[in-house]
Amino acid sequence: MTLATGVPPREPARAWGKVPEELSARVPVEQRGPGLDRDAVRLLVSRGTEVSHHAFVELPRLLRAGDLLVVNTSMTLAAAVDGRVGHARVVVHFSTRGDDGRWAVELREPDGRGTTRARAGGPAGAEVRLPGDVRLVLEEPLGARGARLWWARVSGAEVLGLLREHGRPIRYSYTERDQPLSVHQTVFALPSADGAGSAEMPSAARPFTARLVAELVSRGVGFAPVTLHTGVASAEAHEPPYPERFSVPEASARLINAVKAGGGRVVAVGTTAVRAVESAAGADGAVRAREGWTDLVVTPRRGVRVVDGLLTGLHEPEASHLLMLEAVAGRAAVDRAYEAALRGLYLWHEFGDVHLLLPAEDPHAEHCFSNCW
């Protein structure tokens, strides 16, 4: 299978500019002080262009009875493995397993600090020696836009077994140290029947704890599980997302449609959940059970058919994910929120703070968002 994707149109430069390095979350929040749990992050809330500041534990009071959270159940893989090309050390990031048994991979160079830096891909036929006398051979670039990601074939071992024995979670240079795989799993993660998973954590769901989920359920907020196995990102090149494997089960499709029909709000937890549920939506806005590959790129021009709101991390100004946020909330709302996040010294990346985008409130609606319970 050849994966290729279109390129969203170039957007104007963002007024809020570059994110300072000191706003990168270097360790998980529970490691920043005694007594902290995953839900001890901050929550920026956008309702249209109105912005407010909260703690994540306030989420149950910011949603309504009848709202539905769409969550990604994909488990995170230990997708980084050390190897050698000739005498040169490399780190292989295993991204996505194709239907033909090949894997999309990214080769990176160790930077001497426990993390990696970008490396030119290829050439075709290059062999990477991996632990346990396993061989990986690069065959062809993933798409026509560049040679960062390559299709590769592995011999000498089954890849998922190799990752379990020799892999570690992918780590980028803004983090302080390696973390155990458990730190990269969300409370919603479930093992898949074929062992597949995500190369990187669906991190918008990381702040959820079992306690917080129970409180949300007790207040009438529902959950609809979907699955999207996300591939590797890149700290150097923010490319549009390429095709990924996803599944929207029948029960979740029915639940989403029922909530929409009843006037509730469908809030996706993470851009991966948006991509999955929007890939299962017809032109009529109805969601149907579906699984396979999605090459959908959600942009303001395409818009969203199902999702009313989005809970997500904070993204770099070049990230294609911001186009998805604009599809949900509009450019003005996103820019206003990011300006507030920078002024408020919110933390970025997978261990950072989170952002909840909700529709602007109807002034005639009889709803409240605080002190309601």
36-65 in b/e form (b: 16+ CB < 10 A) is: eebbbbbbbbbbeeebeebebbbbbbbbbe
Q: What is the DSSP letter of 76?
A: B
Closest CA to 57 of 38, 30, 82: 38
> What sign results for the dihedral spanned by CA atoms 191, 351, 269, 170?
negative
β-bridge partners, 55: 42
> What sign results for the dihedral spanned by CA atoms 48, 49, 50, 54?
positive
Q: What is the pLDDT of residues 54-108, one digit of tens each?
A: 999 999 999 999 999 999 999 999 999 999 999 999 999 999 999 999 999 999 9
pLDDT of residue 113: 84
Q: What is the pLDDT of residues 251-308, one digit of tens each?
A: 999 999 999 999 999 999 999 999 999 999 999 999 999 999 999 999 999 999 999 9
Closest CA to 248 of 216, 213, 275: 275
CB 232 within 8 A of CB 93: yes
Q: How confident is the model at residue 13 (pLDDT cuts 50, 70, 90)?
A: low
- Cα separation of 137 and 328, whole Å? 41
Lowest mean pLDDT among 39-48, 185-194, 235-244, 344-353: 235-244
pLDDT of residue 361: 74
How does the average pLDDT of the chain come out, rounded?
89
Determine what percent of the chain is predicted with pLDDT higher than 90.
Answer: 77
